[in-house]
Structure 1
Amino acid sequence: MNWNEILDSFQLQPEEIEQVTEKVYKIKANQQYYALKRTPYQEDVFGKWLAIQQYLDQQQIFAFAPIFQSKQKQPFIYDQQAIYYLMPWLERSTQEQPIDEYETVMHTIGRLHGTTMQSHPTQSLKDNKDTITAQFQQELLQYREQSLGYLRQIEAKRFMAPTELQFCMYYRDLLQIYDTLEEWQNYYVTELEKTEQMKYCLCHGNLQPSHYVVANPYTYLLNWEYAYMSSPTYDLTVYYQYLFQFHDCDMNKLKQAFLVYCQYVPLTNFEKSLFVLQILSPARLLHMATEQNNNRLDSLSYSMELERIYRTLLFGFEMQASVYQQLQAME
């Protein structure tokens, strides 16, 4: 890395350079602090990054941390197979009266989705309703058969491995999740028939606590490289599933945060059912549990990862119950 050339491109004369993470550097220059982010260059997405940044500038969307342009009037520079872009260094707020981080983030992501909101017709989905229904049925049947087949396989052993015993303990909950998933699949298809338009907006793409900074009075989103246009439910799913993996996840606050989000983006019943189908998907758990050639983790790490994925499903199940109550209250 040629520091002089990179920083000169942003017209900075550095006084201090500190590597904070593998990809982020804290730069002191001109009596101010900056964050320099490095990300691998990918030719197939380079144009997408430029388009997203231009879209943010043209639409004056301020949810993301601002990016300084280089001397060449570009939002980032290219150097040795990597892209570098420069932002202000934002410190996380520390104050005597703690704020509710979840609600604060939902205000920010709600504004991002709301200000970039578009809609497109659901007719193509309706035209393929029979195919979607068949896919749902086949998918659910595969989940049930895969779970039961694996359970029989490990119960036939004289001694189970710890992760196999874990799966046996999970099995009853999985059956309940499958039944609930089937109900939501049917609800999705029913609501699809009633829905003419579905929402479409700019999604952050990888929303998690390390990708935003709560800097009172604002919350700034970081890492727009993953941003894309899609249903707002995908951002919600990524964020909630990340938080669900922790045992001390505060579900009451997350349920309230969801209501805050819906004040900005009033999700239809169809879109809420899509959100539930996403957070209830057991695909990751089944893949992790039944993958026999997974040698990347030692047995303890493997067991802990399996438990995190299972916990994500359980919290997702609790979240869907809250969404269902909201739907019942509206009827």
Structure 2
Amino acid sequence: MSDSNRLNAVAPILKHYQVEPYFVEDFGKIVKVYSNKGTFALKKIVPNSGTDFIRHVHQLYQKGYNRIVPIYPTNDGRYAVLHDKDLYYLMPWLSNDVKENRKERHQQLFRELARLHTLSSKEITVKKEERTEHYEKTIQQFEKNQEFLTGFIEECEKKTYMSPFQLLFCLYFNEIVQALSFSKKKFEEWYEKTKEQEKARMVINHGKISSEHFLFDEKGYGYFANFEDAGFGSPIHDLLPFLSRSLKTNPKRNDECVDWITHYFKYFPFKADEKLLFYSYLSYPLPIIQVVEKYYRKQNPKNELKFVQHLQHQYWYLKNTEYVAMRMTELEQEEQTKEGAPPQ
């Protein structure tokens, strides 16, 4: 699209803000607007996403949390403009010149996430029957996973000549089962600790935590952007997707991730039951189980090379999450020993 066409495309939208664009640049779903009133970011979203996220942003502002890239209202008070079947909203353009190194950038991100969760946290009522139902369904899923893994390895071991995938699965089997057992154990401990409770802590989750959605101004302060998936829920729902993406690497001792979580816990300490649930979800080896199930269901001929690669990548992810979960529990036990408290 030519520069003049870009200007013509956004000008009707910006009229609602009394902003006259001089020049625009495309950055994916965001348009950088140079105008008579300064530099702005114009974001496009699909209408069925709605603008519920703006309500969450306002709630955070009301609670005193202001490290959010502000959303400007139109002249008539709306926070989004419907134009050509898309919704648009306007924000200031942040320079995002990162002076901090990667470690400091992520530490600031997790500190601000902890503040966001702290200021928005509230207790909600949870019926005992609902908690029990969730527990029973989840335990049933654990048992189905265990049954499938056991059945599949028995089938593999009956083969005179295993396929490359089957051989690799047999090598990984014990570690997959150990991860599943650890996850199930932590989940059972969580239920034992909470089965008589009728309250649970919820926060406003950002919904898409990412270093790309944490922008810096010219003073070096970090601000969250892209709240379109924001909603109330357990703070675990913000942590796990971020960690999942970060741990999808070659196998390594990822102490960086451990540092991020530890830094977050300094400012928003998890309760004992929240930690148990966090460790259970973090260590649950569902991705590698799903690869095995897909292989099992796939009709011949199978692409062995592709399946072996997928299995190996998910095994690396399993080992990375295992290290983080184990290291976190070790640090927790060390801290409890220092304080003279019995391990939880």
Q: TM-score, normalised by structure 1?
A: 0.84
Say yes or no: does 1:224 pair with 2:227.
yes
Aligned residue runs from structure 1 range 178-197, under 5 A: 178-193=180-195, 197=199
Matched, 1:18 2:25: yes
Quote the Cα distance in structure 2 between the aligned partners of 1:30 and 1:157.
76
Aligned to 1:35: 41
The answer to whether the aligner puts 1:316 opposite 2:318 as a matched pair is: no
- Taking the TM superposition and a 5 Å limit, the aligned residue runs for 1:12-161 are 12-21=19-28, 23-30=29-36, 32-42=38-48, 45-46=49-50, 48-95=52-99, 99-122=103-126, 124=127, 126-128=128-130, 130-153=132-155, 156=159, 158=161, 160=163
- Counterpart in 2 of 1:262? 265
- 3-state SS of 1:224 partner: coil
Amino acid at match of 2:181: D
1:143 to 1:25, Cα distance in 2 relative to 1, 3 A:
same
Q: Which amino acid aligns with 1:77?
A: V
1:255-285 CA-partner distances (Å, limit 9, x unpaired): 2222221222221110011111221222233
Stretch deviating more after TM superposition (213-222 or 259-268): 213-222
Residue 19 and residue 130 in structure 1: after superposition, are their counterparts in 2 closer, same or farther (change >3 A)?
Answer: closer
Residue 5 (structure 1) aligned with residue 8 (structure 2)? no
Contact 2:109 2:211 in 1 (8 A): no
- Residues in 1 aligned to 2:200 and 2:19: alpha-carbon distance in whole angstroms: 45
* Aligned-partner residue type, residue 73 of structure 2: Q
Q: C-alpha distance in 2, partners of 1:203/1:190?
A: 26
Cα pair 2:79 2:89 within 8 Å, conserved: yes
Distance in 2, Cα, partners of 1:47 & 1:213: 21
Which string of whole-angstrom CA distances, capped at 9 and with x for unpartnered residues, describes residues 195-249 of structure 1?
Answer: 5643111001121222222445322112101000011111111211121113387
Residues 27 and 150 of structure 1, relative CA distance in 2, 3 Å threshold: farther
In structure 1, the residue matched to 2:178 is 176
Mind listing any 5+ residue stretches in structure 2 that lack a counterpart? 1-5, 337-341
Q: How many Å apart are 1:144 and its aligned residue? A: 1.4
- How far apart in 2 are the matches of 1:127 and 1:266? 27
Q: Which residue of 1 aligns with 2:209?
A: 207
CA contact (8 A) 1:101 1:214 kept: no
Q: Which runs of 5+ in 1 are unaligned?
A: none
Q: Deviations over 1:41-86 (max 9, x none)?
A: 10xx525234324324433432321112222221211122221111
Q: Which amino acid aligns with 1:118?
A: K
Q: 1:154 to 1:48 in 2, by over 3 A?
A: farther
Deviations for 1:83-119, whole angstroms, at most 9, x for unmatched residues? 1111222233333766522211111100100111111
- Partner of 2:200: helix, strand, or coil? strand
Kindly indicate whether the alpha-carbon contact (under 8 Å) linking 2:20 and 2:37 is maintained by their aligned counterparts in 1: no
Output the aligned Cα RMSD: 3.0
Equivalent pair of 1:17/1:27 in contact (CA under 8 Å): yes
Runs of 4+ off more than 6 Å: 298-302
Comparing 220-229 with 85-94, greater Cα deviation is found at 85-94
Tell me how far apart the structure 1 counterparts of residues 307 and 41 of structure 2 sit (CA, whole Å): 35
Determine the C-alpha separation between the residues in 2 that align with 1:47 and 1:315: 37
The count of aligned residue pairs is 322
Query: Partners of 1:112 and 1:96 in 2: how far apart?
Result: 21
Out of 275, 295, 305, the residue aligned to residue 278 of structure 2 is 275
